[in-house]
Amino acid sequence: MASPPIPPQLDHLVTRPFSFYPPIVGIEHNEWLYRKANWSEIQVVNCKSGSEIWISRRFVGEVSRVDDPVLIVGLNRELEYKGGMVVPYQRRVIEMPVAVGGGAPPAPAARPEPAPIVGIRLASATDRRIFKLIGVAVAIAVVICVLAVSLSRQRVVYTTRDQTYLGLTGRDDRTSVVLRLGEPATDHWQNEAGAMQFEALGYPDRKLTVILMGADRNDVRYIGALNERWEPVHWIENRSGGNSESLLRGLRRF
């Protein structure tokens, strides 16, 4: 029996904009409208560029039950727009090419014969003391290096399981963020236009930037936090099982 022309879970997307999660690699603006479908694919159109693409039904997952801050259509795997088609995204390891004219690395030189021993004398008490001090100094340096490496690795990494991070959830707006963290040192918006608005509240004393998102600047909600290197340290989960990590990683610094 043939599949219906419009999947049941996409009936209500005919006139409503939505975003894919995770976003499609190679397409900057993540806002779409449902256009039509056949037995194996669905067609969507990008709200900004007007580009129309076909996506296989097997890659389309669940639709979020709520649209706060934005309606999300889940994807079963990360996709990439390539050559006018949407294909599964593959992360490749790039091998460094050999330099032009470069040959194979030279063979190691033959180990020279040990030099003949001219003479041997017993070390004096002073020499033994010097060697002992050098050994103690080397041991102390090794211990210090081990401790430094251990301390550098003891940093807290927050994941989606830590839903109590700073006491913030996807229901918090700018007012509740300020009540919990105080007034931010900086407050920036990504752009003036666009279907989705992003606000960045900077807290340099905490080495954090809190990100809010929404369709309207008067109604933006918390979606996660970034560290000073603009890397996600916390993100939220939605009811459909997805999260905002990929959205934060794809967000350019502003």
Q: How far apart are CA 74 and CA 63, in angstroms?
A: 6
Report, as an integer, the average pLDDT of 97-106.
59
Express each pLDDT in 42-63 by its tens digit.
889 999 888 899 999 888 888 8
What is the C-alpha to C-alpha distance for residues 213 and 101, in angstroms, rounded to an integer? 53
Per-domain residue ranges of the chain = 8-88, 165-249
Query: How far apart are alpha carbons 35 and 46 in whole angstroms?
Result: 10
Q: What is the pLDDT of residues 138-189, one digit of tens each?
A: 889 888 987 776 655 444 444 444 444 578 898 899 999 999 999 999 999 9
231 is written with which tokens?
A: 């890397």
Contact 203, 177 (CB under 8 A): no
pLDDT at 46: 92
pTM more than 0.75 = no
- Rounded CA separation 238/77 (Å): 17
What the block records as the tokens of 235 is 């993100």
CA atoms within 13 A on the CB side of 12: 10
Q: Is 197 exposed, middle or buried (0-12, 13-18, 19+ CB in 10 A)?
A: buried
Buried b (16+ CB within 10 A) or exposed e, 236-247: bebebebbbbbb
Give the closest residue to 49 by CA, choosing from 30, 22, 34. Answer: 30
* Residue 8 pLDDT > 70: no
- Ranges of beta strands (E only) in the chain are 19-21, 32-37, 41-46, 52-56, 60-63, 72-75, 79-82, 85-88, 186-189, 197-203, 208-216, 219-226, 232-235
* Least confident residue range of 70-74, 145-149, 186-190, 229-233: 145-149
